[in-house]
């Protein structure tokens, strides 16, 4: 039978989970990821929200528009992949830390 004590505990667990999710989100957003492309000719910095916050371009690329575009695209895509992988691993860590709720991983990761 389900009683008020069980309901209260479940609501407390959900509240704690929400607080943890908010802390995780703030932590993720505060991280900065730096990616270099073309042997360091292009460097992109992106925050945990996926926003590009800085780009450094070697002067030698300024006269080679095609190479610059290719290296920028590659660096931004790699940086976005890093942000997404970080989000996923952090979420998996949070799920794993939930005890019984995270015991069987719904994503199939080991």
Q: pLDDT digit string (tens) for 52-107?
A: 999 999 999 999 999 999 999 999 999 999 999 988 887 777 666 655 444 444 44
pLDDT tens digits, residue range 6-50? 766 666 666 777 777 777 778 778 889 999 999 999 999 999 888
Strand order in the sheet with 52-57: 32-37, 42-47, 52-57
Closest of 46, 25, 33, 31 to residue 91, by C-alpha: 25
CA angle, 109 then 35 then 87, to 5°: 30
Domains along the chain with CATH numbers: 4-92 (3.30.1310.10)
Closest of 110, 46, 43 to residue 84, by C-alpha: 46
The answer to whether 39 touches 58, Cβ cutoff 8 Å, is no
């Amino acid at each position: 039978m389900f009683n008020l004590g069980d309901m209260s505990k479940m609501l407390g667990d959900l509240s704690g989970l929400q607080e943890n999710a908010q802390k995780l989100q703030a932590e993720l957003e505060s991280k900065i990821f730096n990616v270099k492309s073309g042997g360091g000719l292009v460097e992109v910095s992106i925050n945990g929200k996926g926003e590009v916050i800085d780009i450094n371009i070697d002067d030698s690329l300024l006269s080679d528009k095609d190479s610059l575009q290719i290296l920028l695209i590659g660096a931004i895509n790699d940086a976005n992949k890093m942000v997404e992988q970080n989000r996923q691993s952090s979420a998996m860590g949070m799920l794993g830390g939930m005890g019984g709720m995270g015991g069987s991983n719904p994503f199939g990761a080991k």
